[in-house]
Each structure stands twice: as C-alpha cells, then as structure tokens.
Chains A and B, each alone.
Chain A
Amino acid sequence: MRYEAPETLDAAVGLLAGESGQARVLAGGTDVLVQIHTDRADPDLIVDIKKITELRDIADEDGAWRFGAAVTGKEMMDNAAFNAAWPGVMDGVRLIGSVQVRGRATVGGNLCNASPAADSVPPMIAARAIATVIGPDGRREVPVEDIVTGPGKTSLGKGEFVVSFQLPKRPPNSGDAYLRFTPRTEMDIAVVGCAVNLTLDDAGTCTDARVALGAVAARALVVDDAAKALIGTKVDDAAMEALAAAASAACSPIDDKRGTIEYRTEVAGVLAQRAAAIALERAKS
C-alpha cells in the first residue's frame, strides 16, 4: 500500500487516474482505516486529500454555503455562522462517531463510505445539497442523494472523488433538523435516522419541505410523500400523522438485532414527527 498526500486537486486526480490497482481517497480516514482493519478494503494506493486547500474551505457564498469534502466535523462545529444557517445538517455532523472520530471525520467521507446509516447524509439530502465531483473527465455536479447507490456502493466513476458540497440559500422562516434513533445514547449506529427541512410563509403555512430517511433502506431515501404531507399545512397534528404514515410507508429496512423491520418502520414515523417538530420550531425562531 502506497500513501500519497498531494497538495493540489490536479495532482490528486492524476494519482488516482494513474493507479492500476485499487485506490482509495482518504479524507478523515475514520472509515477507510476500519475497512482496512477488517479486510473489507485492501487498497494499493491511498490518496489523502486533506492537504488540498480547496477541499478545506468553508464559505458563505451570498447565503448559499459551500464546503470542501475534507472539512472536518470539528471545523464545521466551530463555524458559528454555518451552525446558525444549517442546524439540521449540524445535528447529523455532530452524530458522526464519537468526539474524537468526528473531529477528523468529514461529511465527504461519511457520504462516500456509503453506509445506509450515515448520520450526515439525510440532513444533507433534505438540504438539497449538491456535490461537486472531480475525476479524469473533469468536474460534474451531482445531487447528494444520487451519490450513494447501495451499501458500500457509489455512483462515482474510477478516479472520481467529491470535491465540495453546496447548500442552496434558503428563504427566511426555514428550519431543518435531524434525529436518529439508537440503542445507546452516544456513539452508536442509527437504527433509523430522519431529516426534515421546511419553509414557512408569514402565516405559518408550510410552503416547502423535504424529508429524508436513513438506515431504513439500502441507501438514504428522499420521501416526497412525507414532504407533501407537510406542504400547504400548518404542520398541525393531522399533517404530522400524515407525515408519519408517509415516512413509515417509504421504509424497506433490514431485520436485525438492532431493530426488526416492523420496529424500524414504526420508529421512522415517530422520528419524522419529532424531527419535523424541531424543524418547525427552528423555522419559527
């Protein structure tokens, strides 16, 4: 195994394109190293992208936000403006691993590891985040929900990796939230995760919503029916019930000791309601 830590994007692209064997991009490294330990990955080349400055930026671009794929959870947590703008995304970032893991872990890594239970992915999807991907054929933009195709699988081509994420500017009276459900209170893998991002008009009617679920299917899901349940309502009890029903209906989870199919399906609805309530609160404040 060879380790390289290029300082430019071009160099990284070149290294990846030139590798005939297996190559892995390392951002925080928290997942890749675990995969190597457990023989789930045996790369010939590791490209550490943390030294590429472009990937370490986090910037407010006229209300839209862009952050590099190698920005660590800690750097995001330390950015007060971003926390204020996207509290729901930060709900997810704060839950990646434990304190030390999230210090190094990155949203890019959390996404590209392609775990269905990744905590930062549903809120990024709910936020309508767009990933910029670079590879031998140049750059392209991909909605975050289209990056992961299944457990451990992504739509990234050979030599491609995520450079940055862009979060669109939101209208006023918007709020987002992410909740996950785990057996332990800390440091655990989500049994269900749910993110809600919504916008209200001045009268308090929901004009836009997006709901994403994690850990209930092979990859994080966008649940349009759940969003529809909220849009046009005051997010009242009836809307909440419709939201829960839609969230539950979208689930196709696995059955394991952390939760049966029935249970995950049930809890997805409960979590959707609770996340929506927090998002609503944030939109109003």
Chain B
Amino acid sequence: MTDFRPVTLTVNGRPHTGSAESRTLLADFLRDGLGLTGTHVGCEHGVCGACTVMVDGEAVRSCLMFAVQADGAEIGTIEGLAKGGEMHPLQKLFSEHHALQCGFCTPGMLMTAMDLVHSNPDRTPQEFRDGMSAALCRCTGYEGIVNAVIEYAAMVKAEAADG
C-alpha cells in the first residue's frame, strides 16, 4: 500500500533529496522529513494559511500540495527568511508593530506578506489588508500585522526607487 517516490527539492537554497509516499503532504515532508518545523499546519484545508511556503517563487499552501508535486521545485520557508542570524526587515517590523502574540500563524503570515509585497509593493492599504486575509490570526486582531506589511511595502518601494 505504500508507494514511495524520490523527491528532490531545493529548500532555502539547499538541495534535499528524500523519498515520500505519494500521499505525503508537502507540509508534512518539510516538517517531518526535513525537520523544518517553522512551517505550521493549522487547518489542513488551505484556509488558515499557517502552512504557506514559497514554491518556485509563489506563495502556496503546503497542506494542499503533495510533496511529490513539488519534485524539482525551489521551496522557500520561514527558516530561510533571516540571513546569518539577522532578522529580515519584515520580521523586525512584525516585532515592532506587535504583530504576533502566540506566533503560531506568524511563519505563514510572513510568507504571505513576502509574496504580497514583492509581487506588487504598489498596493493600497486596503489591498494589503485584503491580501493578508489569506492567513488567519486569532490573537492580534490583525492591526499590527497589516501595519507592518504596509510599512514593509513602503520600504521595498523606497529601496526600488533608490536602486
């Protein structure tokens, strides 16, 4: 009944080869197979967004994807956001804006925000708010999250203008 297939992924720039059952979810493969437990599973239905990761540059619900579907893909997870122990600017902004309490939704929030901002930093505040509706937070009431994302977008825009 078990049907293992080889899976080769690049995660946060590092190649990983393993084998997964066809039915193994990408989220489970990352967490249990690769030990990257920063990606959380909150609803198994693609609703809550806690499991959001980047697959070939796009934000994806890793609970709605089999690991074998991601074979050959470039994956980005929360563990790859900070560089050399230095928090990413978006992570710092989350802390400054009190955009997290329990922190369970936070990895998915950050990945959602990265996709939202970098795919188009030129959105209106309402568009950022609506975009962040893709992920659920039960603690904060979202104010800090939305404000952090808006400020980060402004930062990205300013950098683009400078560069």
Contacts and interface: CB of A to CB of B under 8 A. Distances in A.
Interface of A: 1-3, 5, 26, 29-30, 33-34, 36-38, 46, 48, 50, 74, 97-101, 103-104, 185-187
A231 to B, nearest CB: 35
Given A1-B3, A30-B61, A187 B47 contact: yes
A29 B46 CA distance: 11
B68 interface: yes
Interface of B: 3, 5, 21-23, 25, 44-47, 49, 52, 58-61, 63-66, 68-69, 112, 115-116, 130-131, 133-135
Contact of B3 (A2, A50, A101): A2
A104 B60 contact: yes
A3 B22 contact: yes
B69 A29 contact: yes
Contacts, number: 85
B64 A34 contact: yes
B3 A99 contact: no
A87 B12 CA distance: 37
Nearest to A33: B64
Closest A-B pairs by Cβ, 10 of them: A3-B22, A186-B133, A98-B134, A99-B134, A100-B59, A33-B64, A37-B44, A1-B23, A30-B64, A3-B68
Given A36-B23, A46-B22, A99 B64 contact: no
Contacts of A33: 25, 46, 63-66
Nearest to B45: A34
A103 B60 contact: yes
B45 A99 contact: no
Contacts of B60: 100, 103-104
A101 B116 contact: no
15 contacts: A1-B3, A3-B66, A33-B25, A36-B23, A50-B69, A98-B134, A98-B135, A99-B115, A100-B46, A100-B59, A100-B61, A100-B112, A101-B61, A103-B59, A187-B133
B134 A3 contact: no
A76 to B, nearest CB: 14
A48 B46 contact: no
Contacts of B22: 1-3, 46
Nearest to A78: B119
A101 B48 CA distance: 11
B96 to A, nearest CB: 24
Contacts of A48: 69
A99 B59 contact: yes
Nearest to A103: B58
A104 B57 CA distance: 12
Nearest to A32: B64
A1 B2 CA distance: 8
Given A3-B5, A98-B134, A101-B61, 6 more contacts: A30-B61, A33-B65, A46-B22, A98-B49, A100-B58, A186-B134
Contacts of B69: 3, 5, 26, 29, 48, 50
Nearest to B63: A33
Nearest to A36: B23
Nearest to A97: B46
Contacts of B66: 3, 29, 33, 46
A46 B44 CA distance: 19
B64 A104 contact: yes
